[in-house]
């Protein structure tokens, strides 16, 4: 058995949850915050059998897309930090996925 931990941008969350359920899987969604842009995202916990991992990954790939977003940099706080005084395009979205082995699963 595997535990899929997928961190996705909030814009992709409603569609991803809908597609996961439609594909016959269940997931637990946790609110989380990204470190780089300090924006909201969500972390999905999805437990599946080994042979179902690729199906879940296909749903995530189909649903979560990378996109470019303009970000206004934060003023530097410490010495040696550089500052760019205009908005910068950064790639956001997609998903960061961890696949972990599960020794035991108990549902009560």
User: What mean pLDDT do residues 10-17 have?
Assistant: 92
CB 13: neighbour CB atoms within 10 A? 18
Identify the three-state secondary structure at position 57. helix
Please provide the average confidence, as pLDDT, over all residues in the chain: 84
**Token match 């409603």: residue?**
14
Q: In terms of DSSP bridges, do strands 95-101 and 28-33 run parallel, antiparallel, or are they unpaired?
A: unpaired
For residue 43, the cross-strand partners are 7, 30
Structure confidence by residue, pLDDT tens digits, 34-85? 665 566 789 999 999 999 999 999 999 999 987 776 666 666 656 666 666 6
In CATH, the number for domain 2-101 is: 3.30.70.120
Rounded-to-integer distance, Cα 45 and Cα 64, Å:
15
Q: Is pLDDT above 60 for 104?
A: yes
Give the ranges where the chain is alpha helix by DSSP (H). Answer: 13-22, 53-63
For residue 93, the cross-strand partners are 66
Give the ranges where 1-82 is alpha helix by DSSP (H). Answer: 13-22, 53-63
Domain boundaries, the chain: 2-101
């Amino acid at each position: 058995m595997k535990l899929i931990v997928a961190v996705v941008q909030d814009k992709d969350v409603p569609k991803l949850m809908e597609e996961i359920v439609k594909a016959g899987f269940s997931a637990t969604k946790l609110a989380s915050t990204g470190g780089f842009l300090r924006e909201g995202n969500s972390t999905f916990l999805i437990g599946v059998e080994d042979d179902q991992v690729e199906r879940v990954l296909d749903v995530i790939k189909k649903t979560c897309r990378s996109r470019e977003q303009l970000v206004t940099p934060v003023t530097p706080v410490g010495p040696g930090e550089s500052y760019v005084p205009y908005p910068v395009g950064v790639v956001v979205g997609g998903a960061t996925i961890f696949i972990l082995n599960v020794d035991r699963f108990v549902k009560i």
